[in-house]
Amino acid sequence: MQNKYTDWKQALRSGLLGGIIVVVLSLIGIVAAFENTYVVNQLVSFGEILILGPVAALSLSAIRKATSRQAGFLILTAAISGLASGLVILALAGVGQVINLRAMFLNASEELYAIYAYKQALVPGLLLRLLACIVIGALTAGFTLLPDRIKSALGQGLLYVVFIGLMGRLLTMMLSNWGFVAVLFKWIFTANSLSLVGAIVVFLLTGGLAYWRHGRPKVKRSLEPRKQKVIRWSMLGGVGLILIFLPNILGLWFSEILDNVGLFILMGLGLNIVVGFAGLLDLGYVAFYAIGAYTIGVLTSPELGFFNWTFWQAFPVALLMAFFAGVLLGLPILKMRGDYLAIVTLGFGEIIRILVLSDWLKPWLGGTQGIQRIQRPVIGFGGYARTLESQQELYYLILVGIVIVAFIAIRLRDSRLGRTWMALREDEDVAVAMGINHVTTKLTAFAMGALFSGIGGTLFAAKIGSIYPSSFQFLVSINILSLIIVGGMGSIPGVFVGALALIGLPELLREFAEYRYLFYGAALVAMMLIKPEGLWPEARHRIELHEEETPPPEEEAATATENA
Amino acid sequence: MFRTWRQKITLTDILVWVIGLSIAVVVVWGTISTLQSGKYSVESWFDLAVKGLALGGVYALIAMGYTLVYGILRMINFAHSEVFMSGPFTAVFLANALNDSGFLNRYPLLGILAIAILSMAVSMSVAILVERVAYRPLRNAPRLVPLITAIGASFFLQYTFRGFYGSGFEAYPTIEALNGAWQLGTVRLFKTQVVVIIAALLMMLLLYAIVMWSKLGKAMRAVSEDKEAAALMGIDVDGIIVFTFALGGAAAGAGGVLYILQFPVVHFYMGFIPGLKAFTSAVLGGIGNVPGAFLGAIVLGLLESVGPNLFLDGLGIPVASQLKDAIAFIILVFILIFRPSGILGERLTQTKV
């Protein structure tokens, strides 16, 4: 490629691509949606970052591909790339003035052009935008010319400012309960975001920290095993204590989100066994979730009136149902591999949903109207009985469920069975040749996964009290799959990280919620391309990958600026 | 305990066979009781069959994308259902514009042609884009990896188009020339269905000709046999892969236009179910095999349209047509269990050997 195109053409190409990315983001509506989500109050909005971010990122790529390392040349290249991006953005605004793009693209509105033009009159505003694109390109080039230490400090500082700025509203909401801290932070946070002072403080702190840490060897404290154990257990105890008081600290709204995250962690732990440990890509995972929830519904709901059991009577039956459904689905598809398995499980999930929706089974499953008035779980005996109804009370039920399931998952991973799963995942033929019975091994993986998903389903039914077929769409399977992959396939802490990032964040940042699945899709592709081992990879996986390659230090700074 | 008796048969095999047989019994029982009840006349069966053929034609065109890509890369292009969706979802705006100006009803053939060309172009570009961004960098990755990116790409595309055109339904204008039906004695043929069947047939023939007789098609088959050897013979493997995606995308776009002639409403989620069914037909006919995809699609279309009434009505299941999607997926599961090579799969392997 380099021989064919001169560097200028390369820069133009990068710039055009950057511009096209911005235009696509704008037309999807993300730019306008984040117009008023400020990172730094009234100064820098996240929408603005979404415009200038891709421009900067593609300028960076133009610089990387440049053949000469001269400072002036690099700055010029990057500026050209920025100019090209800016021209594409201008072209959209220009075309929008002549033709009514709105008839086709919903988001090609006057507001978008106003954002492009910095809310100024169109012509001078757009010229300003062009200038901004060129400047940001040149700045990117300047950035790459800095010494590594300053580069990483700047990158980290910017990244943290953006992140904390986005989280600003949540932090203030959380902190508002704690009087004295709230006062302390008043001058860092405005109502929604960082204040200018706050941004500078955060930037200096995090950037300074990165500057100080850069180049220092990581201090490895080797404590004796007993002390390590004490530290580990006390940390676990601390986390446990925090988790117990979390709903009271955070209040009702956060508890609801915590419940959702918890349910997805539960199911993620189950799917992690199937996909992460055993390497069987199951896209119909929602089916077991539905089976668990519907069993509880059918058995306890007085509306249908078949059984009128209590929650705890129905609970073991629901788990058994999910377990056997796992075995039943597992049986026929044992011989399949990879992609076929994915499609068949997907089909299975759809079959379950179609059956639930159908008029045929309506007398038993309620059809489109679903099942209402599902019994809530009751805890305690006699006079001390207590129905768990509020989200804060159910939180504890889910927490107990997660602890049990996580414990089982960890023990399974380290058991003989867990190792056979992983052997099967790495190479089925070799594993079978080594004497592993692939029938029982795969079946147990499927059944355990189904069981965990069933637990998730029962708790979901208990949580919302009424279930509808629309809660069991294919999208749920994709949700769970995404969180596993983002967290790291086969990694148990990864499930927690993934669930917090993919389920928690979009719930917290309402603007994101709209673009949730767009983001999931992009995350799946990006993770596979850039970091296939996930955010918190399994220890063994991490070692394997680090043997092969150690990422060069520039890479980190590059991703930092791309994100900023 | 069965191992001592006969090495090959295991407990799971027996269980699978029992499940299969019981479903077969249910199907036969349902068919007999439906036919005995005499609820449907010969004409209504004929109607359903023609409808099934028209549906099968659409599935066949979408299935081409799956089957061609599978033949070359040995991977399921999960995002193909979105490739299918993107074409007609974009072309709806052209169709409405043409309709408003009155062009569509004055020159229906030209109008549909214009819509089809736009739809094919958009689907083709999306297919090429997906290949470039999501698959090419992962050409040598483990098998699960491109599948996951494919799922990611599928969702990304769905919600991108949702962002572009909104989450609502867009309706295609009705084309007056295609309204109504021809009466042939006691049976009646809907004009749209006839047009769809003929168009699908012609396009499948064209695709077959391209794959079998053109130079590019020859190169394509060479790449699917052996990538390295093909590269050594001077074939641009990456170029051929792009061409394959483009061909599959164009076929999906054309299939999309035939689809909207039958179901004139589009939305961002419309690709999911037809995509799955097209995949089912590709597997049914033997994935990687062009005539197989066509055969599988016709069989699936017929089963889907005739099946619910024939198999399930007699069992006393109300509104059996609600279960037509379930029938398709059950077929998929059973094909994969009992004959993963599909109907024409055997012949393919023979010729390859």
Model pLDDT, residue A555: 43
Contacts of B272 in chain A (CB under 8 A): 474
Q: Do B155 and A520 touch (CB under 8 A)?
A: yes
B351 burial level (CB within 10 Å; 0-12, 13-18, 19+)? exposed
Identity of the residue numbered A68: S
Q: Which residues contact A442 (CB under 8 A, 6 or more apart)?
A: A278, A280, A330, A334, A424
Whole-number pLDDT of residue B126: 93
Q: Are residues B164 and A106, on separate chains, in Cβ contact within 8 Å?
A: yes
CA of B349: how far to CAs of A397, B171, B223, B278, in Å? 55, 44, 16, 22
In terms of Cβ atoms closer than 10 Å to its own Cβ (0-12, 13-18, 19+), residue A214 is: middle
Query: Residues of A numbered 473-502 whose beta carbons fall under 8 angstroms of chain B's beta carbons: which are they?
Result: 474, 478, 481-482, 485
User: Residue A481: closest CA among chain B residues belongs to which residue?
Assistant: B148
Q: How many CA atoms lie within 13 A of A117 on its CB side?
A: 20
H/E segment holding residue B235: none
Q: How far apart are CA A380 and CA A364, in angstroms?
A: 31
B143 neighbourhood in chain A, CB within 8 Å? 337-339
- In the predicted structure, residue B91 carries a pLDDT above the cut 70: yes
C-alpha angle with apex A59: A57 to A64, nearest 5 degrees? 95
The C-alpha atoms of residue B347 and residue B341 are separated, in whole angstroms, by: 10
Say whether B160 and A529 touch across the interface (CB within 8 A): no
Question: What is each CA distance from A366 to A25, A246, A470, in whole angstroms?
Answer: 41, 37, 12
Q: Is B282 on the interface with A (CB under 8 A)?
A: no
Q: What confidence category does residue B246 fall into, taking pLDDT thresholds of 50, 70 and 90?
A: very high
Using a CB-CB cut-off of 8 Å, the residues of chain A touching B329 are 347-348, 350-351
**Amino acid letter, residue A192:** N
Which has the higher per-residue pLDDT, B27 or B348?
B27
Overall residue count recorded for chain A in this entry: 564
User: Does the CB of A525 have a partner CB in chain B at under 8 Å?
Assistant: yes
Percent of chain A with pLDDT over 90: 3
Length of chain B measured in residues: 353
Q: Report which of residues A250 and A462 the model is more confident about.
A: A462
Write out pLDDT tens, residues B134-162.
Answer: 888 888 777 778 888 888 899 899 989 98
Smallest Cα distance from A444 to chain B, Å: 14
| Token pair in block for residue A518 | 């767009």
**Secondary element (H or E) of residue A120:** none
* Pick from B322, B336, B337: CB nearest A358: B322
Mutate to test the interface with A, among B151, B309, B313, B334 (most CBs of A within 10 A): B151
Q: What is the dihedral of CA A267, A273, A279, A280, to 10 degrees?
A: -60
pLDDT for residue B327 is more than 70 = yes
Q: How far, in Å, CA of A421 to CA of B306, rounded?
A: 43
Residue A544 neighbours by CB under 8 Å, 6+ apart: none
The secondary structure of residue A436, as a DSSP letter, is -
pLDDT tens digits along A234-274: 888 888 888 887 777 777 777 888 888 899 999 999 999 98
Collapsing DSSP to helix, strand or coil, A338 comes out as helix
CB proximity under 8 Å: B 82-111 to A: 93
Mean pLDDT computed over every residue of chain A: 81
CA distance to partner chain B, nearest, from residue A258 (Å): 25
Kindly report which listed range (A122-126, A368-372, B7-11) carries the lowest average pLDDT score.
Answer: B7-11
pLDDT tens for A154-195 read 888 888 888 888 777 777 776 666 666 667 677 777 766 777
pLDDT top residue among A484 and A302: A484
Write out chain B in H/E/C secondary structure.
CHHHHCCCCCHHHHHHHHHHHHHHHHHHHHHHHHHHHCCCCHHHHHHHHHHHHHHHHHHHHHHHHHHHHHHHHCCCCCCHHHHHHHHHHHHHHHHHHHHHCCHHHHCHHHHHHHHHHHHHHHHHHHHHHHHHHHHHHHCCCCCHHHHHHHHHHHHHHHHHHHHHHCCCCEECCCCHHHCCEEEECCEEEEHHHHHHHHHHHHHHHHHHHHHHHCHHHHHHHHHHHCHHHHHHCCCCHHHHHHHHHHHHHHHHHHHHHHHHHHCCEECCCCCHHHHHHHHHHHHHHCCCCHHHHHHHHHHHHHHHHHHHHHHHHHHCCCCHHHHHHHHHHHHHHHHHHHCCCCCCHHHHHHHHC
Mean pLDDT of A139-151: 84
A103 vs B: CB within 8 A: yes
Asked if residue A551 has pLDDT above 50, the reply is: no
- Residue A563, pLDDT score: 45
Higher pLDDT, A380 or A272: A272
Percentage of the residues of chain A whose pLDDT score is greater than 70: 89
Distances (CA, A) of B198 to B181, B192, B205, B257: 15, 10, 11, 13
Residue B140 has phi, psi (to 5 degrees) of -105, 15
pLDDT in tens, A495-523: 988 888 888 877 777 777 778 888 888 88
> Is pLDDT at A445 greater than 80 in this prediction?
yes
Give the mean model confidence (pLDDT) for residues A291-307: 82
pLDDT in tens, A150-162: 888 888 888 888 8
φ, ψ for residue A178, nearest 5 deg: -105, 100
Q: Which of residues 307-346 of B touch A (CB under 8 A)?
A: 317-320, 322-323, 325-326, 329-330, 332-333, 336-337, 340
List the one residue out of B334, B331, B284, B286 whose CA is nearest residue B16. B334
Token code pair at residue A191: 């109502």
Does the CB of B76 have a partner CB in chain A at under 8 Å? yes
Alpha-carbon span B225 to A153, nearest angstrom: 52
Confidence band, pLDDT 50/70/90 cuts, at residue A3: very low
Residues 341-360 of chain A with CB under 8 A from chain B are: 342-344, 346-348, 350-351, 354-355, 357-360
Q: List Cβ neighbours of B347 (8 Å cut-off, separation of 6 or more).
A: B286, B289
Confidence of residue A441 (pLDDT cuts 50, 70, 90): confident
Helices of type H across A372-490: 391-414, 416-426, 428-433, 438-464, 474-487
Distance CA B305, CA B193 (A): 13
- Contacting residues for A306 by C-beta, under 8 A, at least 6 apart: A298, A299, A364
How many whole angstroms separate alpha carbon A67 and alpha carbon B70?
Answer: 39
Please spell the DSSP secondary structure of A500-532, one letter per residue.
Answer: IIIIIHHHHSHHHHTTHHHHHHHHHHHHHHH-T
| Three-state secondary structure call for residue A21 | helix
Which class for A265: exposed (0-12), middle (13-18), buried (19 or more C-beta within 10 A)? buried
Q: Does pLDDT of A74 surpass 90?
A: no
Determine which of A21, A348, A441, A528 to mutate to test the interface with B (most B C-beta atoms within 10 Å).
A528
Q: To the nearest whole angstrom, how far is the Cα of B82 from the nearest Cα of chain A? A: 13
Tell me the ipTM for this assembly: 0.83
| Partners of residue A358 in chain B, C-beta under 8 Å | 319, 322-323
Distance (Å, whole) CA A514 – CA A501: 15
* Lowest-confidence segment of A37-41, A491-495, B21-25, B192-196 by average pLDDT: A37-41
Which of B23, B81, B129, B156 would you mutate first to test chain A, the one with the most A CBs within 10 A? B156
Residues 126-145 of B with CB under 8 A from A: 133-134, 137-138, 141, 143-145
| Predicted pLDDT of residue A80 | 87
Query: In terms of Cα–Cα distance, which of A132, A129, A128, A134 is closest to A79?
Result: A134
162-181 in B: which are within 8 Å (CB) of A? Answer: 162-166
Residue A481: pLDDT above 50?
A: yes
Residue of A35, A125, A31, A119 whose CA lies nearest to A86: A125
Band (pLDDT 50/70/90 cuts) for residue B310 is confident
Q: Check residues B14 and B302 and name the one with the higher pLDDT.
A: B302
For B233, the token pair is 């013979």
Nearest to A364 by CA among A295, A461, A314: A295
Residue A406 near residue A236 (C-beta atoms within 8 A):
no
- How far is the C-alpha of B167 from the C-alpha of A148, rounded, in Å? 46
Residue B156 in contact with partner chain A when CB distance is under 8 A: yes
**Of B261, B108, B248, nearest to B199 (Cα)?**
B261
Q: For residue B119, what pLDDT band results from cuts at 50, 70 and 90?
A: very high
- Residue A543's contacts (CB-CB under 8 Å, 6 or more residues apart) are none
B122 has a pLDDT exceeding 90: yes
Give the whole-angstrom CA distance, residue B216 versus residue B240.
7
The tokens 């008796």 sit on which residue?
B5
Residue A58 to residue A37: CA distance in whole angstroms:
24
CA distance A49 to B213: 52
Mean pLDDT of A205-229: 76
Query: In angstroms, what separates the C-alpha of A279 from chain B's closest C-alpha?
Result: 8
Portion 532-551 of A in contact with B at CB < 8 A: 532
Contact residues on chain A for B140, CB-CB shorter than 8 A: none
B333 and A344 in contact by Cβ < 8 A?
yes
More confident residue, A284 or B337: A284
Written as six digits, the tokens of B31 are 């068919």
CB contact under 8 A, A347 and B159: no
- Of the two residues A89 and A363, the one the predictor is more confident about is A89
Please tell me the predicted confidence (pLDDT) of residue A176: 67
